[in-house]
Structure 1
Amino acid sequence: MNWRILIKSLFFIYCLGLISVVQQELNGSFSAQGQNLVALENNSLANLSPQEKTNLKQGKVVLKGQKGIYLAQVETTGNINTAWQVLTDYDNFERFMPDIASSRIISSQGDRLVFEQVNVVDLWVIKQKFTVQIEAIKAKPHKIDFKIVDGDLKKLLGRWQIKETSPGKILVSHAVEVEPGAKTEKRFFMVFTRVL
């Protein structure tokens, strides 16, 4: 398995700020807040164009959505366990994901944890820094639901999903609903979509 390809692919879809190929509503505390994401997921799954299907097969990231609601998918060489290890390596995101200055687990209990992430985005002339604390609920090894609990964004809600498509191939999907906070509002979507 080529780690560089997997990391690069995961980075592209992680930049969405980090829900995916599922036909069900988000569970638990995520349900009420995730209605827009559910609609995007269901619509995107049913309506991949032939070009998008080709792009997935070629290992390219397919991105759908706008105005803060996005779904990104990539099919890559690898296995579910390796992808899971990368997606849940919260203490080391800054080692392989540009724009992340630091990431650390604040608390952990069973399948639930809260981690803090500091992002520094270069806006050509100035740098924009924002911090978020994110609660993640893991359903190993296929799904991670997450939402913001504190930080510089008004809303951040999403899901990662990993699915084996054939032996040695996986589909990694990431759906996210994000709304900038006062500190990040002006340049947020310009930078957010540029990084994608």
Structure 2
Amino acid sequence: MGWSNSMPGMRLRKSIYLGMSSLAVMVWLTVAPISSAVGGDRIIHQPTEQLLALQPGEVSVSGESGQYVGQVLATGSVEAAWAALTDYNNFASFFPDVETSRLLESNGNQKVFEQVNVVRVFPFTRRTRVVISATESYPQQISFNVIEGDVESLQGVWQLESVGSNQVLVTHRVSIDPGSSPTRDLFFNIYKNSLDDTMAALGQEITRRSGG
């Protein structure tokens, strides 16, 4: 509703703001967190066995060509994770590459927010604006999709699962299409790398909000 890292031959430089997702050389996004099958209030359960390979604070990112799954096992509560993911006006304070974000509409569990991302890949700097519609299913899931902005399509889901007494597994599934461009492969590489930073930053924010 949420991302700089390294890739072969170049180094992504973090923007001065923290944020949700990254964009470069063309149009990019974060925020916010998904798969093309996600929609409405449908709950998609994450297999618990997938967390067995994760240690507290560890991040896992998989996928390619615009279809990705990111996970982080954070020390903290589901309530703290939910509070962070629905803090639409303050994503810039903890998500990599988000410059600004603000809530535009709120109608029950339906939210609409605007997000501006900044990414720097030497020698380029790129700003991208998106407007995202989010459906909240407390406390398990937040699904979202872009309704306006600088990407062809973006949709996904954030899923929360309590693990033990003081851990939460956060899973982020995302499907993104930047549109037709000769730099699509570069976009996908940067997006995947930045997703790793996004999940790590979220895990740290959850721990902070939980008093850790």
TM over 0.5: yes
TM-score norm. by structure 1 comes to: 0.74
TM-score norm. by structure 2 comes to: 0.69
Say which SS state the counterpart of residue 81 (structure 2) adopts.
helix
Provide the aligned length of Structure 1 versus Structure 2: 167
Offset of 1:179 from its aligned partner?
0.7
Taking structure 1 as reference, are residues 100 and 66 closer, same or farther at Cα in structure 2, changes over 3 Å only?
same
Taking structure 1 as reference, are residues 86 and 29 closer, same or farther at Cα in structure 2, changes over 3 Å only?
closer
CA-to-aligned-CA distance 1:50-92 (integer Å, 9 cap, x gap): xx733x1343111121110011111121001111110100101
Say which of 26, 30, 34 aligns to 2:38. Answer: 26
**2:192 corresponds to:** 193
Quick one: distance in 2 between partners of 1:89 and 1:139?
A: 15
**1:168 corresponds to:** 166
Structure 1 contact 152–183 (Cα < 8 Å) conserved? no
Between 1 and 2, higher relative CO (CA 8 Å, sep ≥ 6) is seen in 2
Q: Report % sequence identity.
A: 34
Taking structure 1 as reference, are residues 100 and 14 closer, same or farther at Cα in structure 2, changes over 3 Å only?
closer
CA-to-aligned-CA distance 1:129-178 (integer Å, 9 cap, x gap): 11110000001122100001010011110000111011101101100001
2:110 partner letter: R
Taking structure 1 as reference, are residues 91 and 47 closer, same or farther at Cα in structure 2, changes over 3 Å only?
same
Quick one: distance in 1 between partners of 2:181 and 2:110?
A: 28
The yes-or-no answer on 1:122 pairing with 2:134 is no
Offset of 1:190 from its aligned partner?
2.8
**1:64 corresponds to:** 62
Quick one: distance in 1 between partners of 2:181 and 2:42?
A: 25
The yes-or-no answer on 1:111 pairing with 2:123 is no
Q: Which sections of structure 1, spanning at least 5 residues, go unmatched?
A: 1-12, 32-37
CA-to-aligned-CA distance 1:102-124 (integer Å, 9 cap, x gap): 10111111100110100010112
